[in-house]
Structure 1
Amino acid sequence: MFGLLGFGLMTSWTFGREYSDRTLKALLGLPISRGYLMPIGFAFTTLMLALVFGSTDIGTYLPWSVPALHLKESGVASFPLADTSYFLVFLIGLAGFIWTVKWLLNREHR
């Protein structure tokens, strides 16, 4: 509920600022660089994978569904999380951190 309220407020504030700054007409008309499409596509794909496979046994090995399964485990869980689940979350998080740092270091030199 708070996420819906937060995203609603953020979206309305963003479009409100675009309207008051008179830049709304160019908001959807300007081209988007390719650097934004890949992260949005990746986020959408991982969300869909977590939704589809999160409630199955495969969900224990998807790092994007482990937090929801961890919360579910506080009640009555249909299957327990393995140590591998937490290791994969750590591994993916570490890989994302290293990739981000390398990208930022290379990006600063351009």
Structure 2
Amino acid sequence: MKYTYDAAGVSINTADSIKSVIKKHAKTTARPEVLAGPGLFGGMFEFKGYKQPVLVSSIDGVGTKLKIAEAMDRHDTVGQDLVNHCVNDILTCGAEPLFLLDYIAMGKLSPDKVEAIVKGLS
């Protein structure tokens, strides 16, 4: 038996398609200091013009709101909610939100759901 990603239920073509959608939406929010777009293993941000920069980061999740999004078949609000959580956490530290690192996990990739989430993020 030949082992492949497709045989394991992982579609490389679907993943590539989703990455293109993510890049499209991410471009709409990129600041000039962002040195590289999505697709790499890390984000790059130039701190030119900042004196003694301190990086404040936040990561959050939307928790049970995903159940509501599923029930309503509306996933754009999930992205909006996530941005609000992270931005608010950073602002409470007196810092400026500079960028957002994302992570989307789901049992089966759904391009439509991912696009709605990413559209909400942007």
TM-score range for the pair, normalised by the shorter chain length: under 0.3
Higher RCO by CA contacts (8 Å cutoff, separation 6 or greater): 2
Normalized per residue, the structure richer in strand is: 2
How does the TM-score come out when normalised to structure 2?
0.25
How does the TM-score come out when normalised to structure 1?
0.27
